Amino acid sequence: MIIIKCINPKCFAPDGRFEWDERLSLESNGRVAKQGDPGARSFVIDCPYCGTHNKIWLVKMIADPYVRGF
pLDDT at 12: 95
DSSP string across the chain: -EEEE-S-TT--SGGGEEEE-GGGTEEEEEEEE-TTSTT-EEEEEE-TTT--EEEEEEEEEPP-TTEEE-
pLDDT in tens, 16-60: 999 988 777 666 677 788 899 888 888 889 999 999 999 988 877
Report the predicted TM-score, pTM, of the whole model to 2 decimal places.
Answer: 0.73
Report pLDDT digits (tens) over 46-55: 999 999 999 9
pLDDT score at 48: 96
* pLDDT reading at 65 higher than 60: no
